[in-house]
Structure 1
């Protein structure tokens, strides 16, 4: 990414090398300037037609222009360019087929990837684990808790992924602290480190399960030396301290005496985001008066002791080791699917996924602390 203002301004060196090789192959294959000119003419006119249709959509959806103005623009310029395009179609058999073939291949690649990604996300949403299923497992999730911290990577910002239940079914033991990590890229150039982690607790305290949404801008790079694990542990500790403070305020401010002697009741409110020790975290919003704000610093002995115990347990689990757990999913079209869906999922999308870098490589996860969980998605 080369721009701090626009998301789509990118530079990919491999694309330049691919274009150079393609130009050399076309020149060596045609060996005549007339056929190269025909291919160039079809490409230019086709780009003009597509640009006109896209600009009409921008006028309607982005600029909110008058519909009459947008359709008038499309009718005038679109008809002229379609007329030009119909004339260059006579040159398709004389070299004009090259840009059409290249465009068709690129369209197929983009469509297969988009279709497969949407089907995968839809499957994960439909099969995510409910909180009720987790609560019925018991205080220790109904299984052995291993020392250390387990980081489950998921693309879901809400809910527990199905890979977690699949993991528990085949391996009935989990780490003492579980954190579901969801990495999201925002349409901004960069995200400050103090705003990178959004944390929330899942279930009661004895479960020691958290959700962490890690936010990156399009110019933020994953590096080996960015100390991701250390930053995440600090954010967890800050969240625990903040949660303990809010619980202390809850106990002390149920009925707060205001300056005029009246009583003010403060009930539960929706979740909020706050910054503690430089980390943006979530918690429960508390309605506070001037006297109750000053009481935040005075934690009850019980909440202070619980905070110290939980932070000490977090440090101990960190010393025991951190394991990064990632899903290694295989997508298959279910039996009875149509011809197009079978080939789009089983062939097109599966082939494109094999060409992509693994998530562990993108996030620079060390191999000695990586655990892959295999699962088949029957779409």
Structure 2
């Protein structure tokens, strides 16, 4: 009500901000900058002692206006705590109900599930496993894109991630179903940027993964086949060597040598290049049909057997926050015209 009370509130707000800054900078020095422990302790206790002395002097003015920023800080802490609690329980629900590879094999062998031309990017917080929203989508609409990529965006405690290390791909079996899992890593200074650029980088990384993975896998198979051929030839030569010296000479002149088998293996190793080219062309054809972004529009509700407090927090408070906070597609730079929201109810 008076300028004196405003100054008291301002003093506690400033010293509170200084204490939070000192704590967070100390954490960054220890975790991200990898400074030695004694330097972090010297910084924390040095500045912390000064701030504690100043904060203790401001506590005498708590009842004369200093309570206002304290109550505001408690309210914001409550909001962040509720948001974190519900999101943690939602993640645990997805983790407990994730889809196994057996279900994916059943979908791959199900003739009623149609493959639609195009690339489908399904966003999920799960790094491993397939989210339950996928089975809900298949059950509602028995169709899926010709290429499916489960995208998970994760922030790591580094300043920036190189573009060639940002996308980590892994293929989900069976391989012929063309289902991939992608973890997009970014640092605290990185920005996802334009959706067109992000989509282009993701597709290029997918092509690089397919080319490298298919070539290395086929190369291993070729080397194993060549080794088996060498073993068969050597064993046959040994058996024939016990018969007569004439047959030994004849076998040495007619049977393939080790060098010829290696050259045969080299010719076989060139065959996967054709397979890789076909896979890359398949990705290009799917890209021409379009890319669809699928995002789970999960309605989080409290379990019927949960406590009254949990029902109030989840069903009313969190629901109000979720309707008034920024939506996920805005922070992930997803184009609205190609966004498909899949609704599902989570009971936590």
What is the TM-score of this pair, normalised by structure 2?
0.74
The match for 2:200 is: 230
State the Cα deviation string for residues 97-142 of structure 1 (Å, max 9, x = none): 2122112112112211221221111111111111122123343685
Alpha-carbon distance in structure 1 between the residues aligned to 2:265 and 2:332: 38
- Is the contact made by 2:215 and 2:276 (CA closer than 8 Å) also made in structure 1? no
The match for 1:307 is: 276
Taking a change above 3 Å as real, the CA distance of residues 314 and 102 of structure 1, as seen in their structure-2 partners, is: same
Alpha-carbon distance in structure 2 between the residues aligned to 1:49 and 1:311: 54
Instruction: Name whichever of 310-319 and 221-230 sits farther off.
Output: 221-230
The match for 1:146 is: 116
SS of 2:160's equivalent in the other structure is coil
Alignment of 1:354 with 2:323, yes or no, is yes
The match for 1:31 is: 2
Taking a change above 3 Å as real, the CA distance of residues 139 and 340 of structure 1, as seen in their structure-2 partners, is: same
Taking a change above 3 Å as real, the CA distance of residues 44 and 230 of structure 1, as seen in their structure-2 partners, is: closer
Taking a change above 3 Å as real, the CA distance of residues 89 and 145 of structure 1, as seen in their structure-2 partners, is: same
Instruction: Name whichever of 184-193 and 50-59 sits farther off.
Output: 50-59
- Is the contact made by 2:122 and 2:150 (CA closer than 8 Å) also made in structure 1? yes
SS of 1:353's equivalent in the other structure is helix
CA RMSD of aligned residues (A): 3.8
The match for 2:222 is: 252
Alpha-carbon distance in structure 1 between the residues aligned to 2:145 and 2:132: 17
Aligned residues, how many? 308
- Is the contact made by 1:248 and 1:296 (CA closer than 8 Å) also made in structure 2? no
SS of 2:107's equivalent in the other structure is coil
Instruction: Report the alpha carbon displacement of residue 238 of structure 1 after superposing the two structures with TM.
Output: 1.6
Alignment of 1:334 with 2:308, yes or no, is no
Alpha-carbon distance in structure 1 between the residues aligned to 2:121 and 2:29: 45
Alpha-carbon distance in structure 1 between the residues aligned to 2:26 and 2:160: 31
The match for 2:339 is: 370
The match for 2:91 is: 121
The match for 2:77 is: 107
The match for 2:237 is: none
The match for 1:179 is: 149
1:189 to 147, 150, 159: 159
SS of 1:350's equivalent in the other structure is helix
Instruction: Report the alpha carbon displacement of residue 146 of structure 1 after superposing the two structures with TM.
Output: 0.9
State which structure, 1 or 2, has the greater radius of gyration over its C-alpha atoms. 2
Instruction: Report the alpha carbon displacement of residue 83 of structure 1 after superposing the two structures with TM.
Output: 12
Instruction: Report the alpha carbon displacement of residue 298 of structure 1 after superposing the two structures with TM.
Output: 5.8
Q: Which runs of 5+ in 2 are unaligned?
A: 232-262
SS of 1:184's equivalent in the other structure is strand
The match for 1:94 is: 64
The match for 1:344 is: 313
Between structures 1 and 2, the one with greater helix share = 2
Instruction: Report the alpha carbon displacement of residue 346 of structure 1 after superposing the two structures with TM.
Output: 2.1
Taking a change above 3 Å as real, the CA distance of residues 37 and 359 of structure 1, as seen in their structure-2 partners, is: closer
